[in-house]
Amino acid sequence: MIQITAQITLVLLAVSILLCVIRLVKGPCMADRVVALDTIGLNLIGFIGLIMMVQQTILYAEALLIIAILAFISTVSFAKFLEGGVVVDRNGSSR
Amino acid sequence: MKTNFLMLHTITRIVSFIVLSFSVYLFFAGHNAPGGGFIGGLMMAGALILLYVTFDAERINRVLPFDYTAIIAIGLLLAIVTGLNSYLFGDPFLTQYFEYYQIPFVGEVELTTALPFDLGILLVVVAVALLTIISIAEDVS
Amino acid sequence: MNNIVLLPVLIPFIAGAVLILFRHFPKLQRISSAVVMLVMLAASVLLVYSVYQDGILTVELGNWPAPFGIVLVGDLFASLMVLLSSITGVTCLFFAFQTITKEREKYFFYPFYFFLLTGVNGSFLTGDLFNLFVFFEVMLISSFILIVTGGTKFQLRESYKYVVINIFASMMFLAALAYIYGLTGTLNLAHIAQQIEEIGQTGVVNTAAIMLLIVFGIKGALFPLYFWLPQSYYGPPAAIAALFGGLLTKVGVYAIFRTFTLIFVHDISFTHTVLLVLAALTMVLGVLAAVAQFNFKMILTYHIISQIGYMIMGLAIFTPLAVAGAIYHIAHNVVVKSALFMFAGATQKITGTNNLKEMSGLLKTHPALAWLFFISAVSIAGIPPLSGFFSKFALVLSGLEAEMYVIVAVALIVGVFTLFSMMKIFIYVFWGSPSLQRSDYSHIKLAPLLMPIVPFIVLTIAMGLFAEPVFTFIQLTADQILDPSIYIDAVLGE
Amino acid sequence: MEILMIFTSGIIIAVATYLFMTRSLLRVAFGVVMLSHGVHLLILTLSGLETGAPPLLTENAEAYTDPLPQAVILTAIVISFGVTAFLLVLAYRTYKEHGTEDLEELRGNADE
Amino acid sequence: MQFQILLNIVIAFIWMLLQNSFTIVHFVFGYIVGLGMLFFLRRFLRFDFYFRRVYAFIKLLLLFAYKLIEANWDLIKIILRPKMDITPGIIAVPTELKTDWEKTLLANLISLTPGTLTMDFSEDGDILYIHAINVPDKEKAIREIHESFEKAILEVTQ
Amino acid sequence: MSLLHFVVLAPFVMAIFLPFLYYKFRSIHTGWFLLPLPLILFIYVATYIPFGGGGMEAVEHTVQWVPSLGINFTVYLDGLSMLFALLITGIGTLVVLYSIFYIANKPDEPLNNFYVYLLMFMGAMLGVVLSDNLIVLYVFWELTSLSSSLLIAYWFHKEKSRYGAQKSMLITVSGGFAMLAGFALLYIIAGNTFSIQEIISQADAIVQDPLILPAMLLILLGAFTKSAQFPFHIWLPDAMEAPTPVSAYLHSATMVKAGIYLVARLTPVFGLTAEWFWILVIFGLTTLLWGSISAVRQTDLKGILAFSTVSQLGLIMALLGMGAAALHYDFIETETMYYTATMAAVFHLINHATFKGALFMAVGIIDHETGTRDVKRLGGLMAIMPVTFTVSLVGLAAMAGLPPFNGFLSKEMFFTATLNVASLDIFNLETLGVFIPIVAWIASVFTFVYSMMMFTRTFTGEFKPENYEKEVHEAPAGLLISPIILGSLVILFGLFPNLLGYTLIEPAMQAILPGITPVGEQFYVNIYHWHGINTELLMTVAVVLFGLAIALNLKKWAEAAFFQRERDPLNRAYDFGLDQLVVQSQNVTNFHMTGRLRDYMLYMSVFIVGLGMYTFFRYNSLDINLEGQGGIPGYAILVIGGLIASTLVLPFVHKRITNLVLLGVIGFLVALLFVIFRAPDLALTQLLVETVMVVLFLLVFRHMPEITKEKKAPLTTTVKALVSGAVGIFVILTGLSVHALRAESDITPISDFFIENSVPLAGGYNMVNVILVDFRGLDTLLEVLVLGIAALGIVTLIKHRLKGDEDV
Amino acid sequence: MEVLVSILLLTGGLLSFLGSIGILRFPDVYGRLHAATKSATLGVIGILTGTFLYFLVMHDIFVGKVLLGIIFVFLTAPVGAFMISRAAYLTGVPLSKQTEQDDLKKARSEAEKAE
Ligand code: NA
Ligand code: NA
């Protein structure tokens, strides 16, 4: 039963990802795209959790956590870039 | 009107510790689970990059006052020397050794020369990522 | 003593890593790099000697048997190439001492230099296809940096193209590797050769072969894959241009030789005909481009291309004599081409320009420079009794023996054009009245500039006058690579 | 599955090649990233997909996926990363010196 | 100092989580790892924290989780409504919370509960700007925040 | 190493030490140090002359050089090589002596260069004539070309010198290259030997080989370029920019005769073929005619002599061709009929060396003393320079073929030979042969004319001091010695031709026509002045009469357009060719080396697809294996679909940040695929790398502008799309076939080993990691090296900035 | 237990799906952020909880990393939203036309006046 629901959920997530890709392509503004990217990241986390169940392995737990971390890092970076084009400030005065 | 990143800064303080721990974990887990010096190094770099992105280069440089070029060299040398170590036993370059030890209260522990080798790799990876990012970030021209 | 095979890779690797730490101590860097380079030269000589004495030497890294681990293989050909790389390495290093700025030294010049040699020597010695890729990358990334170091407008612009094209080539390498691993399930060159023999060099195997040829062709600057070379080799300092011009393209050529003598030897009528056509076109277009130039270094860079054609010609003819001729040509070219680039550097230092039309009459003011240049120019044009003659002669003779008349005709005509463009340099730079140069360069001392070049000149003369021992050795080399089973047995055991 | 993946890598490689031929320094760099994706997937695909468990012996499976291509791809990913990073900086330095991002304006010849 | 020890223990605990193994070995090892990290980042630590608040903090989290699930429904309804008739707006919410920690916590909670989203802080950090998906009554919204989350947080931190 | 080897090497050895002598003893003219060498060599070679008659035994010594290529330094001294060696050393001695007085020892005169070139040439030339091995001969051959060019450009500040040097180098070396190929063919035909004597010994078999004709043509190309045969002669007049001693030595007496030597040497090999005969005769006579007519047009004395030399070389060449006919008659007849031509060739060779040498030296003296060689300015020197005048008169008379000088004798023999050949019954000579004496006669008329002209316009007429920049007087004695000696020889050989008979001519002829002497017998050369009134004599008389007529009417002739232009019209072809070579090369190069990355990528892609597809379909490689394609999970298809969709959108996106976000998504999706395909380590790495990369891109974006909009060029875009599509299709087709072939073959990948041994032998459960750090640790070490280098490179790129002229 | 896990999975999946629909449907970036931060986050947390429970119960494996993942998402999702919305607002991404009030704008214009 879990296998079936996992499969269904996987498809749901895959569709979600596709929807996000549409938003990502459509924009219209950059913030929209970053939102889409962020959400794709979130969906991927779920996706991998599900794959773990489908493939009956916990080997992807690291991947799961890493995506969570990386989605955060990239979202923050993108957002900072959007705000002023500067991702890493040289010194504290700029904020 | 000036605003501030209060929320980001606070969360990053916590998150960076989680990520750093995770990176160390990945490094050690590598031989038997996904991970290793490479992935661990990148993760560690990721944590530090997060700090750089969240705060500013000057501040983090003060926290981490390392000469990354030297770390690259040291990492490389560490890996090579680990590889050369096999000459002590008359084996070819890069021959790795491992042994399981029973340590009281601890249980069986595997000690392997792959570990210092991997550590060298981790050092290089971290240094490379940071050196690159800092160099670009600090370029003013 | 098989570990001797490892030394040409390990020595520069460690040296490079250590020298990173000493970037702020130029003197220390110089002394230690000179010592290391000389040690490397000694190691290379020892390697050649050992291989000559004991046959093919292999090192199974990590003590894992081939084909499972990575194996380094020192056969005669590889050892010879390593020796050439060390010779070039030494002289270009000493030339660099004289010509490059302190600023460059501070920015890791020596580490990059040694890493480049690591990549080059590794590419020669490795017996593993993927490891070859990795060594290529070590070499390329170092070359990217050495080419762009200094960061002038011109360098940046042309390096970008160089880097992009080389990345493209690397990716195609990986694609070819995907095909080959898919077909053979292995990465060890000897093992691949075995497997290909088993499944037969038919159908898509040939496509994979052609893919590899193209990949190495890009690295080795074959027609029509050489676009990256001329401008990008023009930019860097002469010491680097000399190293690149002499050595780097030969790595691609070496790889073509290796794969098309070891692995893809079962359908010569097709593969080697392709090689033949490419060789001819490479020669002709390269030399025409050289003829068109009025810039010292530019002429030399285009000549690299045309000379590659000769090497591939030898492989394409595929008789022992032809392959020996090609290897001789590689050796000759490494020596002479490096020397020529250093002459360009010395000339530039004296006159402040590379433009032929802006210099004149150096024969009067700098006779030693002129004559040493003359010898190498004449050598590269294939005039006896210098090294260039013997390689060309062996190629011509073997081409005629194999009844491949067109390529021989092309080779000879290209020889005339080579002579023409070399003479053009001599006429513009060394003949004429010494009046055009900017006078503020006249204080430059020539002797230290020429010292590193002299060994090359001695070599090109010696390789001509004492062609017999050299040629016998190279014939042995050719015989060895033309019999893949020797290599396969050495790597995989009987 | 393999056939689908071969098509996927082919398409990625085609798009990457297209990007290589654009006139923007940056788009070429994007092309580099794409090309490496395509090639990595090709290696993975051609060495056989889904033949067993992930290559970790803790899994106690009967068959494992071929670990060698994975190691190879991993190395290739890292190398591509290093090279791309370098290219990127090269692109921006080129832009800084030349004041243009347009490869069409970055032609030129030696005698200048 | 207290905090650092605590943090060290937390790291060790995280370590055990990562290892999937709650043995003393891994705790000690994790503790050592944490010690190393703290050493390298020592100049970076300047927040204060007390052990006794951990419990309250966790309690807050649970409370929040409950609110989260409860309120999610609203958003789904909005999303699935054929025509989105919403009246979004940005509200300035002054807060009495003092430390960065408290403010962050509040902002986090606001963001995670449906309908509201922390957008920005004023320079001194005393005003949170919140984007609300539906602002029929601004004052009510502010009051709600003050009464639920802010109060709970103050409970935890004092 | 024999003494003969040393004869060849001695000049080279001396050349090494000469510069030291030059710098050490600046006050002494360097030529003096040199002078003894050719003299000693001459004397040594002269000891081989069979003064007792009866021909000579050939001497052969071998030193191994590159035996594995069949190249050995074998010296071979027979009559032919001896004759040449004597010429080289003998004239060499005189020329060195002459040069000591000709080129003053001034401070900025690089005498060391001059004599080193001269020594190089001397050694090389001796090497050419003394080598038995074709390749060694070739080596020295090219060295003569080199040293000749260097000598021509001795005064390299003059534009004309450089031009002449380049021209001579290009033409002679090109010919040399062809010759080398010819030698190689000969090697193959003769069964792997480069030894001339061995090749000659198989001559009969060799002629049957189909490759003999190309070999001959290639070798003749070398000989003709060197010996300035039409149409390759154009370098010789320009070579006159060299100092006159050089012209006298290289460009009339010795080097230009290297081609003659080679033809004579190989006559036993090729002589049996009709092609040899006709090619030599036709080119020889054409050269003879063309040279003699062209000489008439010249106003520069050295120009006249240059074309004269061209024409005389043609004469000798033609004679050698005719002489080869003798090989067809097995020398049964004792009549001189068949070998007259060869004898004439050898004899004229010697004569030409003497009178032309004398004339060149005389012209050099005139140039030296008057400062000009222009016949329009010269005149009336007879009284002012009596010695020079006398020498010139002797030389000119010999050149014109007047008795009693040696030129007369050889000219007569030449006529005899042409008449003889016209009556032979081989090679279609019955019909075509008649043209030979006619052409010979016409050429002789012109030879007479220019000799006459030189005489009248230089020495007779009115002396006009205003034409000269300095005071004109007779040359110093030292300068006169050499021409006087040569002039004396002209007279001596004219009066006593049989001095040369069995000493030089006969041994040489034995070498050229090996069968000429039956075993155990001797062959005697006898040359007579008076043969009675025969056709030849009548021809000579006619030459003089017609020649006088023309010479007297020279003004009228000079008005004809052909005679207006001093430069040989063939030069225009050469100059045009060279110009076009550069221009067209530039066009070709600029056409494909556009500097556009896009073009390069396009060419390369087209090439990859073209060659790849060709190979693919040449072997019918297409093969698709559909097994195992079912059971693709839906989510995987969706992920792949998303990946493809994102990828395809990429080319249409023109905002860099959108591009980057898309790239990030694609990276994530690829990582997801890695998860789906059971590669956790890859997924992790991909994700991490992707993120760091994204951050890098973002950092770089700060420094860069929005990406360039493609200009609307639908064609280019279509081409790019098509080509990249083709690349994709190629990758796909090959991939499909590889996949299918893999499924069919029973190859087991080596990875089983890793699966079995990771834990027991390497102590790790993560096979990928074990491979990375252990099985293939080197790869990993190097990959981080790549990373490290890249990072240091980035630092360097950013911080290290030079302007470009700080170093080289 | 299986049922609980299944429900968690399906709810999570649906939430994520709805979140994505929200991302598509909301008229402005801020609205989309709401969808992303709440629905998607909660959805993922649901799925991860399901995964965690699945392995804990069915396989008796305590997958700490998944738990850590949940915590991590909890902590960071709001920050991400905060960063994006802030950036969007500061770079002048317009609010949807339905927006009724904007205190931030007021504050900003006041601050500008003060300067
Ligand atoms: Na190269
Ligand atoms: Na000039």
What is the value of ipTM here, to two decimals? Answer: 0.92
**Residue B1 lies inside a defined structural domain of this protein:** no
Q: Which residue has the higher pLDDT, F326 or C204?
A: C204
- Judge contact between F788 and C85, C-beta under 8 A: no
- Judge contact between F618 and C245, C-beta under 8 A: no
Question: Is C416 in Cβ contact with F174 (below 8 Å)?
Answer: yes
Alpha-carbon distance of C147 to F479, in angstroms, equals 59
The pair of three-digit structure tokens given for residue B139, joined into one six-digit string? 């370029």
- Judge contact between F632 and D1, C-beta under 8 A: yes
Question: Is C21 in Cβ contact with B70 (below 8 Å)?
Answer: yes
Q: Tell me the count of B-F CB pairs closer than 8 A.
A: 141
- Judge contact between C481 and C75, C-beta under 8 A: yes
Query: Across the strands, what pairs with C59?
Result: C72
pLDDT on residue B1: 47
Chains G and C in direct contact, meaning 3 or more beta-carbon pairs closer than 8 angstroms: no
Shortest CA gap B8–chain C (Å):
37
* DSSP summary character for residue D110: S
Going by C-beta distance under 8 Å and a sequence separation of 6 or more, which residues neighbour residue C435?
C360, C361
Alpha-carbon distance of F215 to F445, in angstroms, equals 36
Q: Is B66 on the interface with E (CB under 8 A)?
A: no
Q: pLDDT, tens digit, for every residue of F83-103?
A: 999 999 999 999 999 999 999
Question: Is F632 in Cβ contact with D57 (below 8 Å)?
Answer: no
> CA triplet D72, A14, D44: central angle to 5 degrees?
15
pLDDT on residue F29: 93
CA of C124 to the centre of ligand 1 (A): 14
pLDDT of F770 above 50: yes
- The mean pLDDT of chain E is 73
Q: Cα dihedral angle (A15, A20, A22, A24), rounded to 10 degrees?
A: -160
CA C82 to chain centre: 10
Backbone angles phi, psi at C59, to 5 degrees: -125, 125
Shortest CA gap C74–chain F (Å):
17
Chains B and E in direct contact, meaning 3 or more beta-carbon pairs closer than 8 angstroms: yes
Chains that touch D (3 or more CB pairs under 8 A): A, B, C, F
* DSSP summary character for residue A21: H
Q: Assign D110 a pLDDT band (cuts: 50, 70, 90).
A: very low
pLDDT on residue F559: 65
What number is the average pLDDT over the span G1-11? 85
- The ligand that comes nearest to the alpha carbon of residue C233 is 1
Q: Using CB atoms and an 8 Å cut-off, which of residues 52-71 of chain A contact chain D?
A: 55, 57, 59
Going by C-beta distance under 8 Å and a sequence separation of 6 or more, which residues neighbour residue C460?
C332, C335, C336, C339, C375, C376, C379, C386, C387, C388
Q: Using CB atoms and an 8 Å cut-off, which of residues 17-76 of chain G contact chain B?
A: 68, 71-72, 75-76
- The ligand that comes nearest to the alpha carbon of residue C357 is 2
CA of C253 to the centre of ligand 1 (A): 10
Question: Is B132 in Cβ contact with D58 (below 8 Å)?
Answer: no
Whole-Å CA distances, E143 to E93, E137, F105, G102: 9, 10, 112, 18
Q: pLDDT, tens digit, for every residue of F565-610?
A: 677 888 999 999 999 999 999 999 989 888 889 999 999 999 999 9
Contact residues on chain B for C62, CB-CB shorter than 8 A: 92-96
Question: For F645, what's the count of Cα atoms within 13 Å in the CB-facing half-sphere?
Answer: 18
Domain holding B93, by residue range, is 6-140
Q: Assign C96 a pLDDT band (cuts: 50, 70, 90).
A: very high
Going by C-beta distance under 8 Å and a sequence separation of 6 or more, which residues neighbour residue C230?
C289, C298, C301, C302, C305, F593
The pair of three-digit structure tokens given for residue E104, joined into one six-digit string? 């962050």
Contact residues on chain C for F174, CB-CB shorter than 8 A: 416
Cα–Cα nearest to D83, from A85, C174, C210: C174
CA of F117 to the centre of ligand 1 (A): 40
**Residue D112 lies inside a defined structural domain of this protein:** no
Strand E89-94, strand G101-102: pairing: parallel
CA of C436 to the centre of ligand 2 (A): 8
Alpha-carbon distance of A52 to D59, in angstroms, equals 13
Whole-Å CA distances, D61 to A55, B86, D54, D58: 12, 33, 9, 8
Q: How many domains does chain D contain in total?
A: 1
What number is the average pLDDT over the span C372-390? 92
DSSP calls for G16-82: HHHHHHHHHH-SSHHHHHHIIIIIIHHHHHHHHHHHHHHHHHHS----HHHHHHHHHHHHHHHHHHH
Question: Percentage of chain C surpassing pLDDT 70?
Answer: 98
Alpha-carbon distance of C38 to C44, in angstroms, equals 10
- Judge contact between F645 and A18, C-beta under 8 A: yes
Question: Is F764 in Cβ contact with B35 (below 8 Å)?
Answer: no
Nearest CA in chain G to B19: G72
- Judge contact between C149 and F582, C-beta under 8 A: no
Q: Which residue has the higher pLDDT, F801 or D71?
A: D71
Q: Is A95 on the interface with B (CB under 8 A)?
A: yes
- The ligand that comes nearest to the alpha carbon of residue C353 is 2
Cα–Cα nearest to B95, from C64, C50, F438, F739: C64
Q: Which residue has the tokens 């051609």?
A: D46
Q: Assign E136 a pLDDT band (cuts: 50, 70, 90).
A: low
Nearest CA in chain F to C168: F601
Cα–Cα nearest to B49, from B102, B100, B125, B101: B125
- The ligand that comes nearest to the alpha carbon of residue C425 is 2
**What kind and span of H or E run contains E132?**
strand E127-132
What number is the average pLDDT over the span B66-90? 88
pLDDT of F702 above 90: no
CA of F617 to the centre of ligand 1 (A): 31
Q: pLDDT, tens digit, for every residue of F399-443?
A: 999 888 999 999 988 998 888 888 777 777 777 788 889 999 999
pLDDT on residue F396: 95
Alpha-carbon distance of F774 to F767, in angstroms, equals 10
Chains B and G in direct contact, meaning 3 or more beta-carbon pairs closer than 8 angstroms: yes
Domain holding D43, by residue range, is 2-52+64-106
Q: pLDDT, tens digit, for every residue of C445-480?
A: 888 889 999 999 999 999 999 999 999 999 999 999
CA F452 to chain centre: 36
Ion ligand 2, residues whose Cβ is below 5 A away: C 360, 428, 432
The pair of three-digit structure tokens given for residue E95, joined into one six-digit string? 């807060």
Q: pLDDT, tens digit, for every residue of A8-33?
A: 888 888 898 888 888 888 878 888 88
Contact residues on chain B for F772, CB-CB shorter than 8 A: 36, 38
The pair of three-digit structure tokens given for residue B80, joined into one six-digit string? 């090579």
Chains A and C in direct contact, meaning 3 or more beta-carbon pairs closer than 8 angstroms: no
Q: Tell me the count of A-F CB pairs closer than 8 A.
A: 115
Range among B27-41, E11-25, F328-342, F642-656 with highest mean pLDDT value: F642-656
**Residue D42 lies inside a defined structural domain of this protein:** yes
- The mean pLDDT of chain F is 89
**Residue B98 lies inside a defined structural domain of this protein:** yes
Question: Is F601 in Cβ contact with C285 (below 8 Å)?
Answer: no
Alpha-carbon distance of G54 to G70, in angstroms, equals 15
- Judge contact between D81 and F787, C-beta under 8 A: yes
Going by C-beta distance under 8 Å and a sequence separation of 6 or more, which residues neighbour residue C12?
C36, C40, C114, C115, C117, C118, C121
Contact residues on chain D for F601, CB-CB shorter than 8 A: 17, 20-21
Question: Is B72 in Cβ contact with C23 (below 8 Å)?
Answer: no
pLDDT on residue E47: 47
- Judge contact between G28 and G95, C-beta under 8 A: yes
What number is the average pLDDT over the span B40-60? 88
Amino acid at E118: T
Range among C438-447, E106-115, F676-685, G80-89 with highest mean pLDDT value: F676-685
CATH number at residue D13: 1.10.287
Q: Assign A95 a pLDDT band (cuts: 50, 70, 90).
A: very low
Question: Is F701 in Cβ contact with A85 (below 8 Å)?
Answer: yes
**Residue B104 lies inside a defined structural domain of this protein:** yes
Q: Using CB atoms and an 8 Å cut-off, which of residues 12-51 of chain B contact chain G?
A: 12, 14-15, 18, 22
**Residue B73 lies inside a defined structural domain of this protein:** yes
Going by C-beta distance under 8 Å and a sequence separation of 6 or more, which residues neighbour residue F547?
F400, F445, F446, F448, F449, F452
Cα–Cα nearest to C251, from C330, C165, C170, C144: C330
Q: Assign B60 a pLDDT band (cuts: 50, 70, 90).
A: confident
Chains that touch F (3 or more CB pairs under 8 A): A, B, C, D
- Judge contact between C357 and C424, C-beta under 8 A: no
Query: Across the strands, what pairs with B107?
Result: B103
Going by C-beta distance under 8 Å and a sequence separation of 6 or more, which residues neighbour residue D61?
D52, D53
Q: pLDDT, tens digit, for every residue of F351-398?
A: 999 999 999 999 999 999 998 898 888 888 888 899 999 999 999 999
Q: Is D44 on the interface with F (CB under 8 A)?
A: yes
- The mean pLDDT of chain G is 82
Q: Is A88 on the interface with B (CB under 8 A)?
A: yes
- The ligand that comes nearest to the alpha carbon of residue C142 is 1
Q: Is B33 on the interface with D (CB under 8 A)?
A: yes
Alpha-carbon distance of C319 to A16, in angstroms, equals 63
Structural domain boundaries in chain E: 2-45, 51-157
* DSSP summary character for residue C64: P
> CA triplet C429, C432, C433: central angle to 5 degrees?
110
Q: pLDDT, tens digit, for every residue of G78-91?
A: 888 888 888 888 88
Q: How many domains does chain B contain in total?
A: 1
Q: Using CB atoms and an 8 Å cut-off, which of residues 33-72 of chain D contact chain C?
A: 35-36, 38-40, 42-43, 45-47, 68-69, 72
Global pTM value = 0.92
Q: pLDDT, tens digit, for every residue of F641-675?
A: 989 999 999 998 888 888 888 898 899 899 989 98
Cα–Cα nearest to F539, from F415, F698, F433, F680: F415
Q: Assign G5 a pLDDT band (cuts: 50, 70, 90).
A: confident
Q: Assign residue C277 a region (left: φ > 0; alpha: ψ between -120 and 50; beta: otherwise).
A: alpha
Distance in angstroms between the alpha carbons of the first and the last residue of chain E: 19
pLDDT on residue E99: 78
Cis omega (within 30 of 0) for bond into F497: no
Question: Percentage of chain F surpassing pLDDT 90?
Answer: 57
**What kind and span of H or E run contains F744?**
helix F714-744
Question: Is D47 in Cβ contact with F663 (below 8 Å)?
Answer: no
Backbone angles phi, psi at F529, to 5 degrees: -80, -35
Please name the member of F696, F764, F784 whose beta carbon is closest to the beta carbon of B114: F764
- The mean pLDDT of chain D is 88
Amino acid at F662: L
Contact residues on chain F for A24, CB-CB shorter than 8 A: 646, 658, 661-662, 665
Q: Using CB atoms and an 8 Å cut-off, which of residues 34-93 of chain B contact chain F?
A: 34-39, 42-43, 45-46, 49, 53, 68-69, 72-73, 75-76, 79-80, 83, 93
Task: Spell F359-392 as b/e; 16+ CB within 10 A means b.
Answer: bbbbbbbbbbbbebbbbeebbbbbebbebbbbbb
